[in-house]
Chain A
Amino acid sequence: MAAAMALVRGVRFGSYSIGRSRSLIFNSLQRRGIAACVDPSIGLTDEQKEFQKVAFDFAANEMAPHMAEWDQKEIFPVEAMRKAAQLGFGGIYVNPDVGGSGLSRLDTSIIFEALSTGCVSTTAYISIHNMCAWMIDTFGNNEQREKFCPDLCSMQKFASYCLTEPGSGSDAASLLTSAKLQGDHYILNGSKAFISGGGDTDVYVVMCRTGEKGPKGISCVVVEKGTAGLSFGKKEKKVGWNSQPTRAVIFEDCAVPVTNRLGAEGEGFSIAMKGLNGGRINIASCSLGAAHASVLLARDHMCVRKQFGETLSNSQFLQFKLAEMATKLVASRLLVRQAAVALQEGRPDAVSLCSMAKLFVTDECFAICNQALQIHGGYGYLKDYAVQQYVRDIRVHQILEGNDFFCLIHVSEMQWFSKLSWSSPALSPSSNTPDSIRQLIIETLRPEVSQKR
């Protein structure tokens, strides 16, 4: 019976070349008979469990068998992602009237967490694509929404989010890419760095400077591939996230119609930051999925590997280590889900919760995956075993969409502002806080700096 069941799934796989060790890993990812405590479906509604089930099934059947190949051959899996889009994963929190699925942030987090068990890198790209589709859906006018969103939701076209530049990462508001108004076009000049999907995607959501220095001078425009003056740098060679290409995006007198601008001039920074709030939850969710898969892989390895005459699962030290990993996984999951609910409800603490979630979860989940690799011993270091890919893929989650160090500043700023007044829009973190006030906050909250004064 078990053989027949393996065959039922086998019918869906297509061909995959496996050494015996790889099939062990694959089967253990398949085995969703999880210990009740780390079961990710606890506390979900029936509908959310259905979403999660589809995502897990898709991850196990369409992504996990190819995850290593996509990583080693640096393949951008367009077909697999389009299949995901057919299930509704192309615009999960985009409005249904333009082709999205209209789900909540919590539903989205659950879905990305499940998809991530199949391939972190691809899921992370899908989440970036979703973020861009949402930005156009939320801040675009009806013409823009109808022009771009349906194709993005079906993944007929792919999107990239262009904020970072060689000279401005955490200090995003100091970006230099300029957009000068000439008639009914903006002429863009400058370059963006580390753009996920850059060169292979079709729609670029670009933050550029239309006005004065600082966040208030930034606007958001949509640039389509093929526009004259748009070119790309070389494909970067990365430690992980290899199933999505990363390139510099270069603008040389690139003319973009004014009708492609999302929102008003000067709203670009706020749009970008609001996109990133959700983006942080998505990235944290991807880390959760990797950690979940790694915990299961570690547990299975411990049941199989024998040393000193018994399986590793008999070692109390390792049992405790696994218990710690499980505890941190569940704690992380709860924080991400809370942040998702807060963002969905528009609560005042939403932004800080998103930063806290990203900060805490990406760190903890990396530690969990790293520990899982350690438990595998020498085998963990081989590319035949999936755990090393999870480690490499989620390492970058601690860096992008809000570097951990920046998240700390973000959260500590929130603590300061909460003592004053949340309702004042001038104090809202996504508004143009003058650099001088920000500097004052940081110095007040970092004792070692104020001691020097």
Chain B
Amino acid sequence: MSARVLVGVKRVIDYAVKIRVKPDRTGVVTDGVKHSMNPFCEIAVEEAVKLKEKKLVKEVVAVSCGPQQVQETIRTALAMGADRGIHVEVSGKDYETLGPLQVSKIFAALAKKEQADLIILGKQAIDDDCNQTGQMTAALLDWPQGTFASEVTLEADKLKVVREIDGGLETIKINLPAVVTADLRLNTPRYATLPNIMKAKKKKITNVKPADLGVDVSSRLEVLKVEKLKEAGRI
């Protein structure tokens, strides 16, 4: 199969870190704080690599949007088994206001440019909990979507997706090309092995600017304030 899979990976504050709000209440403290790959993105990468190991897809491309530091996250994806990476350079103010709408436009443009057959994303990011990028990307491309996937099976050029919904499990069959978003129980991400981490150094990461893809990353949203929740429920 000559399919190419695009996997989105987001660099977020590590889930184990205690989050602190900035004193000026415009956001959370990110300087010097440990960052890592969004856990749902890890699950997405694992699924893509599994498909490649089953020889159902030919190439896995890891994509991340952000400043220089996101290259670490792309390297982690490469160490897990992705073939190459694409770093979409967004920095400074643009990065602070980067949201699902802009990212989904970037992914849609990349999918056309790279002629991808499948896009796998995490269902949501643990920093903003938006749960929008996958759905928006599918809409922009007019592709079918299988969100909250807990099982994905490739059958010829159709995708059978078992989705975790409020009522239980829903199984759908969608045509390729499609967008899938990974839920918790889709798989257990592998540890990168030492040899793979070293091989990842040699894999290529190409740099791209949003303007090259014809995407405008300016935001129509403005964050007014970010506050810490008062502790709930203490008697």
Question: With A32-B34, A87-B191 in contact, is A50–B197 under 8 Å at CB?
Answer: yes
- Contact call A88/B193, Cβ cutoff below 8 A: yes
Q: Which among A34, A36, A47, A86 has the greatest number of chain B C-beta atoms within 10 A?
A: A47
Whether B10 is near chain A, meaning CB under 8 Å from some CB there, is no
B188 to chain A, nearest CB (A): 6
Q: Select the stretch in B12-20, B59-67, B88-96, B98-106 that faces chain A.
A: B12-20
- Contact call A89/B188, Cβ cutoff below 8 A: no
Contacts of A452 in B (CB 8 A): none
Chain B residue with minimal CB distance to A107? B194
A5 to B39, CA, bound (A): 8
- Contact call A88/B194, Cβ cutoff below 8 A: yes
Whether A440 is near chain B, meaning CB under 8 Å from some CB there, is no
Q: List B1-54 residues whose CB lies under 8 Å from chain A.
A: 14-18, 32-34, 36, 39
Whether B84 is near chain A, meaning CB under 8 Å from some CB there, is no
Question: With A4-B184, A31-B16 in contact, is A50–B192 under 8 Å at CB?
Answer: yes
Secondary structure class of chain A's binding surface, majority of residues: helix
A51 to B192, CA, bound (A): 9
Contacts of A47 in B (CB 8 A): 197-198, 201
Q: List A246-295 residues whose CB lies under 8 Å from chain B.
A: none
Whether B147 is near chain A, meaning CB under 8 Å from some CB there, is no
Contacts of A144 in B (CB 8 A): none
Whether B222 is near chain A, meaning CB under 8 Å from some CB there, is no
Q: List A1-51 residues whose CB lies under 8 Å from chain B.
A: 1-2, 4-5, 7-8, 11-12, 30-34, 36, 39, 46-47, 49-51
- Contact call B16/A87, Cβ cutoff below 8 A: no
Contacts of B200 in A (CB 8 A): 50
Contacts of B168 in A (CB 8 A): none
Residue count of chain A within 8 Å CB distance of chain B = 33
Chain B residue with minimal CB distance to A48? B197
- Contact call A8/B17, Cβ cutoff below 8 A: no
A96's partner among B33, B126, B188, B195 (CB-CB below 8 A) is B195
A34 to B32, CA, bound (A): 10
Whether B129 is near chain A, meaning CB under 8 Å from some CB there, is yes
Q: Select the stretch in B72-80, B154-162, B210-218 that faces chain A.
A: B72-80
Chain B residue with minimal CB distance to A27? B16
Whether A54 is near chain B, meaning CB under 8 Å from some CB there, is yes
A54's partner among B16, B129, B184, B192 (CB-CB below 8 A) is B192
Contacts of B204 in A (CB 8 A): none
B203 to chain A, nearest CB (A): 13
Whether B185 is near chain A, meaning CB under 8 Å from some CB there, is yes
A92 to B32, CA, bound (A): 30
Contacts of A39 in B (CB 8 A): 34
Chain A residue with minimal CB distance to B197? A50
B188's partner among A11, A30, A34 (CB-CB below 8 A) is A11
A2 to B36, CA, bound (A): 16
- Contact call B126/A101, Cβ cutoff below 8 A: no
B200 to chain A, nearest CB (A): 8
Binary contact track B121-150/A, C-beta < 8 Å → 1, others 0: 000001001000000000000000000000
Question: With A5-B126, A30-B16, A33-B34 in contact, is A54–B185 under 8 Å at CB?
Answer: no
A103 to B17, CA, bound (A): 30
B34 to chain A, nearest CB (A): 6
Contacts of A12 in B (CB 8 A): 188
- Contact call B194/A33, Cβ cutoff below 8 A: no
B15's partner among A5, A54, A96 (CB-CB below 8 A) is A5
- Contact call B75/A50, Cβ cutoff below 8 A: yes
A31 to B14, CA, bound (A): 10
A2 to B13, CA, bound (A): 13
7 shortest interchain CB distances as A-B pairs: A88-B194, A33-B17, A5-B15, A101-B194, A50-B197, A87-B193, A8-B39
- 13 interchain pairs, CB-CB under 8 A: A1-B129, A5-B39, A8-B15, A11-B185, A32-B16, A32-B34, A54-B193, A87-B192, A87-B193, A88-B193, A96-B195, A101-B194, A101-B195
14 other A-B residue contacts (CB within 8 Å) besides A5-B15, A96-B195 = A1-B126, A7-B184, A11-B185, A11-B188, A12-B188, A32-B34, A33-B16, A33-B33, A34-B34, A49-B72, A54-B197, A86-B193, A88-B195, A89-B194
